[in-house]
Amino acid sequence: MADSLDFLWADEGTSQAPVKLRCPNCGNLGEKSPICFARPGNSPAWSLLLCPDCTAGFYENQTVSDYADEGMSAESTTYFLQQGAAVSIFADILAHIQKPPGAVYVEIGCGFGFGLDVAQHAMGWQARGMDPAELSAIGRHLLGVDITPAYFDPTTVPSGSCDVVMATEVLEHLPDPAGFLREIRRGLKPDGIAVLTTPDIAAVRPAIAKPVLSATLTVGLHLILQSAASLEFLLRQAGFTDVRVESDGWKLTAFAATVPLALRDDRRARQAIAIRYLIERSESRAQADDLYFGFAGRAFFEAVSAQDQASAARIWNNLGPRLHNRYNIDLDTITAKIEGKQAADHGDISALMPLNLAAIMLARAYQRLQSGEARAGLLPRFAAINAVCAPLWAWLSQLRIGDMQTRQILWVAQAEVVLCIAAQGRGAVLTMIGRLPESPTGAGRDAIVRRAVEFLIHGERPNLATRLARQESLPHMRQTGDISTSALAKSFAREMFYRARQKLRG
């Protein structure tokens, strides 16, 4: 869908007049102006209308899709499991909630079931979910979680029976979100908490990278796109009195209750819960199976991002040998030239490497950096990421698995190579930085340029630093903050989560 998106902004040569159409979100009957038009393939024009009252967007076409018979290819399933997609996002979201062990957790549209797994193993809750998609059957089997293979049936959730009800990436698929939220509230205990995620309509604007835009729009499957304000409005309409809606610019996360919310706001405390959970789950896998690489890869990445060196070392002690045993890969000696060529020549790349190898390689390089190795010496490690994983990205793209995480990591690796060259004080940094594009997420290049200048200054190459600053038209040569690995981890994880849900939902 991402590739075939035929798309126009409302002010790009079209002149559709405002339409008088009832807003399915708030019921407003007035005129609605189009934001954009998206026509996937040859289907009739789809316009996304903006409700001036509640500020949500909705498609003129409100046809609901059937998700029950959605199949997944073997490659998609392998990818999903090995990426450990969504799992750390679920861990972070649920770790906000301070409910004791034994609390009743219900997840609507639970997909593979990582949310249930987190609820059960990280939080100690009694967890059950419902989802008709095929992926749910796989998750039920592999994770051993309780999933009813069906759409949400309100009669199966007694009134006032749940401590936590979660629905991630569900709301945007529903024709009556207000009614859905009322059902969630009905199912909650008086002090229960509702948790929702849904795309943020704020991401529907020209500056957003096209793959992200396309994922947010998901023409044909998404019906209503919320703004932070419209989502809060809906939750209050449904009777919730304490509502918190957070946005990272393209995704909304909401917590809502009818009593004051007491959330765990300490990010590091949540991160520690997530890392502990991921380590335990990876160590529970007897074999180096797909799910092992999903849990372990994610655990490793999160631990390195949190600069938790003890946890990172513990995971690597297991992950390193298992990478070698299953794939014959040794990250500390992998030679970019040979391995990259081998991957490029190979038909089925999933036989050569785990599909989250880019994340593992990046985390391993950062782990070595954190343990005190000189950046200049890590150039081959960062360079190998692109050589080995660019074919992986190409292969996934061929399969129409638009893996934004791998794409973003390839960019980060390219940027790190530039920084290594800068740390070595070599003049090649000028041309290399000239060739560095903006990152797929639309931000980050500027920070890399500034860091390269700083490295040159610290390496006593002031002339080179000045030339670079001039080449890149840096207005001020001031010190700037680093791109922190944890910030990167968060954006990767969100992207993964989103992508995973896309695979499930669309």
Site residues (CB under 5 A) for Zn ion? 23, 25-26, 28, 51, 53-54
Among the listed residues 364, 353, 347, the one whose alpha carbon sits nearest the alpha carbon of residue 327: 353
| Residues near 263 by beta carbon (within 8 Å), at least 6 away in sequence | 96, 97, 98, 244, 255
Among the listed residues 240, 261, 146, the one whose alpha carbon sits nearest the alpha carbon of residue 188: 240
Q: How far is the CB of 237 from Zn ion (least distance, A)?
A: 11
Q: How far is the CB of 172 from Zn ion (least distance, A)?
A: 14
Reduce the DSSP state of residue 426 to 3 states and report it: coil
Reduce the DSSP state of residue 490 to 3 states and report it: helix
Q: How far is the CB of 397 from Zn ion (least distance, A)?
A: 37
Q: Considering beta carbons, is residue 54 or 421 the nearer one to Zn ion? A: 54
Q: How far is the CB of 383 from Zn ion (least distance, A)?
A: 51
Q: Considering beta carbons, is residue 157 or 254 the nearer one to Zn ion? A: 254
Q: Considering beta carbons, is residue 163 or 200 the nearer one to Zn ion? A: 200
Pairing of strands 104-108, 126-130: parallel
Q: Considering beta carbons, is residue 29 or 428 the nearer one to Zn ion? A: 29
Q: How far is the CB of 83 from Zn ion (least distance, A)?
A: 36
Cα four-point dihedral sign 265, 294, 110, 209? positive
Asked whether the beta carbons of 235 and 254 are under 8 A apart, the reply is yes
Q: How far is the CB of 140 from Zn ion (least distance, A)?
A: 37
* 3-class secondary structure per residue, 166-194: EEECCHHHCCCHHHHHHHHHHHEEEEEEE
Q: Considering beta carbons, is residue 12 or 31 the nearer one to Zn ion? A: 31
* DSSP, res 155: G
Q: What is the C-alpha separation between 211 and 208, in angstroms, rounded?
A: 8
Q: How far is the CB of 25 from Zn ion (least distance, A)?
A: 4
Q: Considering beta carbons, is residue 196 or 353 the nearer one to Zn ion? A: 196
Among the listed residues 437, 8, 402, 62, the one whose alpha carbon sits nearest the alpha carbon of residue 215: 402
Q: Considering beta carbons, is residue 51 or 417 the nearer one to Zn ion? A: 51
Q: How far is the CB of 50 from Zn ion (least distance, A)?
A: 9
Alpha helices in 328-425 (DSSP H): 336-345, 357-370, 379-398, 404-423
Q: How far is the CB of 21 from Zn ion (least distance, A)?
A: 10
Residues 448/450/455/459 CA torsion (nearest 10 deg): 150
Among the listed residues 19, 54, 11, 13, the one whose alpha carbon sits nearest the alpha carbon of residue 35: 11
Q: How far is the CB of 349 from Zn ion (least distance, A)?
A: 45
Residue 320 CA, chain-centre distance (Å), reads 25
| Residues near 60 by beta carbon (within 8 Å), at least 6 away in sequence | 19, 21, 46, 47, 48, 49
Q: Considering beta carbons, is residue 216 or 227 the nearer one to Zn ion? A: 227
Q: Considering beta carbons, is residue 180 or 316 the nearer one to Zn ion? A: 180
Q: Considering beta carbons, is residue 29 or 313 the nearer one to Zn ion? A: 29
Q: Considering beta carbons, is residue 25 or 502 the nearer one to Zn ion? A: 25
Q: How far is the CB of 222 from Zn ion (least distance, A)?
A: 16
Reduce the DSSP state of residue 327 to 3 states and report it: helix
Give the number of other Cβ atoms within 10 Å of residue 330's Cβ.
12
* DSSP, res 233: H
Sequence letter at residue 92: D
